[in-house]
Amino acid sequence: MNTDFIGTGWAFPTGVAATGGIALVRGDTELVQAMRLILSTYPGERPMRPDFGCRLRDFVFRAGTLDTVAELTAEVRRALLRWEPRVDVVNVEVKPSEDDPSVLYIEITYRPKDTNDHRNLVFPFYTIPDDPESDY
C-alpha cells in the first residue's frame, strides 16, 4: 500500500528527535495526530486560520441526550471532512461511557484516501453534567 501522499509532519506535541532535530511522524501516526489536533482546536484559536478546528467546546455543558449526540456527531464529521483531506470519514459514532456519565467516546472510522485500509480513532470527550444536588 502506497501512502506517500500522507507525508511527514511535526510530532504533536512538538518535541526533539534523538538526533537533535524536530521530532517528525509519518503514515497513520501523522493522520491520527492531525485529526486529534483538529478536534482539540476551537475555531478562532489560530489567528492566521480562524476557521480551523472543531466546535467541541460548545457541547461541554450539554446533557448527553440523543440531540446532543447527533449534533456532536455532525460537528466532528463536518470538521474532519473540511480540515483533513487525506482521509475518507466512513463513520462517526458517539457513545457514552458505561462507567462515567461525563465521558462521551467519539469513535471515528476512517480510511486513508485511495486505500481500503479501515482504521479507528477513539477520542474521549469530557462533559460537565448537571449536578442535581447543586444549589446553583
Of 130 and 39, the one with more pLDDT:
39
Of 113 and 77, the one with more pLDDT:
77
Residue 133 counted as domain residue: no
Nearest to 83 by CA among 36, 20, 130, 135: 36
Residue 82 and residue 38: Cα distance in Å, rounded? 10
Residue 136 counted as domain residue: no
Cα of first residue to Cα of last residue in the chain, in angstroms, is: 56
Residue 8 counted as domain residue: yes
Q: What's the whole-number mean pLDDT along residues 80-87?
A: 95
The domain in which residue 50 lies consists of 4-126
Residue 82, C-beta contacts closer than 8 angstroms, at least 6 positions apart:
none
Residue 93 counted as domain residue: yes
Number of domains in the chain: 1
| Whether the predicted pLDDT of 11 surpasses 80 | no
| Whether the predicted pLDDT of 56 surpasses 60 | yes
Residue 30 and residue 3: Cα distance in Å, rounded? 11
CATH number of the domain enclosing 20: 3.10.450.40
Q: What's the whole-number mean pLDDT along residues 72-88?
A: 96
Residue 134 counted as domain residue: no
Give pLDDT, residue 58: 95
Residue 105 counted as domain residue: yes
Sign of the torsion formed by the C-alpha atoms of 7, 12, 16 and 18: negative
